[in-house]
């Protein structure tokens, strides 16, 4: 199965990059006709359903040609949900302008912040929290996820 995932990842990376998307995750679950190939893509500003549908068509052709899975399988192309953890500069860059909930590890405590991502710098994510700009170094981010506006 590892080799299958490697071939799928290579095909998905090629097709996603050509479409201006970042490949976030590739996962293969199940066996036989219940096999599901899930490909998660994103980009700054988000991904709409039409983009996922087009990528699915393009990727399906690539996978048919390379045949990394014997037998039938279902292909799912999706964008990350709001509950997907944000860890890297690229993760924060993709959600620029969106509301996030972040736990920050400070010297003697954990602080919770809720704010809008203003910028993803090389060393820190910059948030706007209650009108103030706060830079949080990535090494201090304990956990972070997109937050719903309510």
Residue with tokens 């097709």: 15
Judged against a pLDDT cut of 90, whether residue 105 lies above it is answered with no
Distance CA 17, CA 15 (A): 6
- 123 in the same domain as 95: yes
Segments forming the whole domain that contains residue 108: 89-146
Number of domains in the chain: 2
- In this prediction the pTM is 0.78
What pLDDT is recorded for position 36? 92
Residue 34: DSSP 8-state: G
- 56 in the same domain as 20: yes
Is residue 116 assigned to a domain? yes
Judged against a pLDDT cut of 50, whether residue 1 lies above it is answered with no
E strand spans, 19-149: 22-29, 36-42, 74-78, 99-105, 110-120, 124-129, 132-137, 141-146
Is residue 84 assigned to a domain? no
Judged against a pLDDT cut of 60, whether residue 104 lies above it is answered with yes
Mapped onto helix, strand or coil, the DSSP state of residue 32 is helix
What pLDDT is recorded for position 34? 86
Distance CA 27, CA 19 (A): 20
């Amino acid at each position: 199965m590892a080799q299958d995932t490697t071939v799928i990842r290579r095909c998905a990376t090629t097709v996603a990059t050509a479409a201006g998307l970042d490949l976030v995750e590739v996962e293969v679950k199940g066996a036989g006709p219940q096999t599901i190939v899930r490909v998660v893509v994103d980009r700054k500003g988000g991904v709409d359903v039409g983009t996922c549908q087009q990528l699915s068509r393009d990727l399906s052709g690539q996978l048919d040609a390379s045949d990394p899975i014997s037998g039938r399988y279902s292909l799912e192309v999706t964008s990350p949900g709001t509950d997907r953890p944000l860890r890297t500069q690229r993760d924060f860059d993709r959600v620029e302008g969106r509301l996030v909930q972040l736990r920050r590890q400070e010297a003697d405590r954990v602080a919770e912040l809720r704010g809008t991502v203003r910028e993803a710098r090389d060393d820190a994510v910059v948030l706007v929290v209650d009108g103030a700009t706060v830079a949080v170094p990535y090494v201090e981010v304990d956990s972070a996820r997109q937050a719903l506006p309510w």
